[in-house]
Amino acid sequence: GTYQITSEDKADATLSGEISRITRTPARSVRGNVLATTEFNLGLTVRYSLTGRNGEHLAGPSDAYGTTSFFVSSDVTTDERQALPLATEDLASRLVTQLSEGW
pLDDT of residue 22: 92
Domain ranges of the chain: 20-43+62-101
pLDDT of residue 103: 59
Which among 85, 8, 6, 4 has a CA at the least distance from the CA of 42?
85
**Cα-to-chain-centroid distance, residue 89:** 7
The Cα-based distances of 98 to 50, 75, 92 in angstroms read: 11, 35, 10
Torsion of CA 34, 36, 40, 44, to 10 degrees: 100
pLDDT of residue 45: 96
DSSP 8-state assignment for residue 12: S
pLDDT of residue 89: 95
DSSP 8-state assignment for residue 55: S
Q: Record the pTM.
A: 0.78
Residues of the chain under the 70 pLDDT cut: 1, 34, 103
Q: Is 45 exposed, middle or buried (0-12, 13-18, 19+ CB in 10 A)?
A: middle
Task: Quick: pLDDT tens for 61-80.
Answer: 899 999 999 998 888 889 98
pLDDT of residue 1: 56
